[in-house]
Amino acid sequence: MRVAVLHEDRCQPKKCQNECYNFCPPVRNGIEVITWRKDNKPIVSEPLCIGCGICVHKCPHDALTIVNLPDEQEKDTIHRYGMNEFRLFGLPTPEKGKVIGILGANGTGKTTAISLLAGEITPNLGDWENEGVWEDVIDHYAGTEIQKHFVGLSSKKIRIALKPQYVDRIPKMFDGTLRELLEKVASSDKVSEFAEKINLTSLDKKLDKVSGGELQKGAIAATLLKEADLYFFDEPSSYLDIEQRILIARMISELGEKKTVVVIEHDLAILDYVTDNIHIMYGSPNAYGI
Ligand code: SF4
Ligand code: SF4
């Protein structure tokens, strides 16, 4: 099977000679492997592409990725964002009462995996032209551990708490103080008690005046304070110094004794400390992940 991805931000049809099209061997033989969108960007037909990679080398803006994968891989597609867009094969399975770590290069689908496991995205099983349907997902994974997870998600029986990757975006989503944000998930007494535990010093500052480290701790506190069954922490140690990292790692580890936790983390020492099992994700950045 072929994975053909167009990196939208890099494709500049006004600043090239359409090399992808002009040098494509099947196109030169009259086979429409590459056609054109209204905005003059190429559409690569994966079934017709022979995977020679010439377009990848000829494009002056490095805007295409073509990967050849074994045909058997196709059946493992759990989600695909669109034609010539990123796709993910397979997912780690959360394990009750354990902390699962996800490790992998940037762009290989770690955050997509969390969004799928948290039910923010319903898997479309590769059918990007249609919204994912839970019944199809549950049928597809019949008899597997992850099917139980999807059943819980689709029936809304699993309560989710998620610490997002980009904490610097939080001030754009909430106009108030850190305390006001945390009091949305817990009582004011609990918030004060927890702030002391996690060394939060900017509780009464407006979020747009709070440093990255305090925002990170605030986001972690909001997640830990939430009553949930499954907790996700997407890169919890960014912005934190080593002492703060260890403190957070201990808290996540303690949480994992009672709850199900999934952590994405680049700091290997922290990941090793907090997790029971680690899933390694690999692939081609922004093209596919396994
Ligand atoms: S993929 Fe490359 S060669 Fe093709 S239109 Fe875009 S920038 Fe031009
Ligand atoms: S990999 Fe080869 S066949 Fe496929 S689109 Fe590029 S040039 Fe054409």
Q: What mean pLDDT is predicted for residues 249-268?
A: 93
- Render pLDDT for 266-285 as a digit per residue (tens, 0 to 9): 999 999 999 999 999 999 99
Q: Within a domain: residue 19?
A: yes
Regarding whether 261 and 153 lie in a shared domain, the answer is: yes
Q: Within a domain: residue 83?
A: no
Phi/psi for 190 (5° steps) reads -65, -40
Regarding whether 57 and 107 lie in a shared domain, the answer is: no
Of 55-64, 81-90, 173-182, the poorest mean pLDDT is in 173-182
Q: Within a domain: residue 106?
A: yes
- Render pLDDT for 126-171 as a digit per residue (tens, 0 to 9): 999 999 999 999 999 999 999 999 999 999 999 999 999 999 899 8
SS3 4: strand
Regarding whether 21 and 114 lie in a shared domain, the answer is: no
For the chain, the domain total comes to 2
Regarding whether 47 and 146 lie in a shared domain, the answer is: no
Q: Within a domain: residue 45?
A: yes
Q: Which pLDDT does position 1 carry in this prediction?
A: 95
Whichever domain contains 48, its CATH number is: 3.30.70.20
Bridge partners, 280 (sequence order): 103
Which one, of 148, 132, 6, 136, lies nearest residue 66 by Cα?
6
Regarding whether 204 and 117 lie in a shared domain, the answer is: yes
How far from the centroid of its chain's Cα atoms is residue 138's Cα?
Answer: 21
Q: Is the pLDDT of residue 36 over 90?
A: yes
The token pair at 117 is: 């496991």
Q: Is the beta carbon of 229 within 6 A of some atom in ligand 1?
A: no
Regarding whether 58 and 117 lie in a shared domain, the answer is: no
Regarding whether 243 and 112 lie in a shared domain, the answer is: yes
Model confidence band, residue 96 (pLDDT cutoffs 50, 70, 90): confident
Q: Using CA positions, which residue lies closest to atom 2 of ligand 1?
A: 59
Ligand 2 center to 33 CA (angstroms):
7
Q: Is the pLDDT of residue 174 over 90?
A: no
For 193, residues 6+ apart whose C-beta sits below 8 A from its C-beta are none
Of 104-113, 128-137, 202-211, the poorest mean pLDDT is in 202-211
Give the residue, out of 66, 67, 69, with the most ligand 2 atoms within 8 A of its beta carbon, to mutate for a pocket test.
66
Regarding whether 149 and 41 lie in a shared domain, the answer is: no
d(CA 237, CA 73): 33
Q: Within a domain: residue 290?
A: no
How far from the centroid of its chain's Cα atoms is residue 269's Cα?
Answer: 21
Give the residue, out of 12, 35, 61, with the most ligand 1 atoms within 8 A of its beta carbon, to mutate for a pocket test.
61
d(CA 43, CA 29): 17
Q: Is the ipTM of this complex over 0.90?
A: yes
Query: Which helix H or strand E contains 284, and what residues bound it?
Result: strand 283-284
Stated length of the chain: 290
Q: Within a domain: residue 147?
A: yes
d(CA 277, CA 203): 34
Q: Please write down the long-range contacts of 273-278, taking CB distance under 8 Å and 24 or more positions apart.
A: 273/246, 273/249, 274/99, 274/101, 274/249, 275/99, 275/100, 275/101, 276/95, 276/98, 276/99, 276/100, 277/95, 277/98, 277/100, 277/101, 278/100, 278/101, 278/102, 278/103
Q: Within a domain: residue 16?
A: yes
| Full domain range(s) for residue 30 | 2-68
Whichever domain contains 146, its CATH number is: 3.40.50.300
Q: What mean pLDDT is predicted for residues 81-106?
A: 93
Query: Taking CB atoms and a 6 Å cutoff, what residues make up the pocket around ligand 2?
Result: 24-26, 33-34, 44, 49-55, 66
Regarding whether 48 and 116 lie in a shared domain, the answer is: no
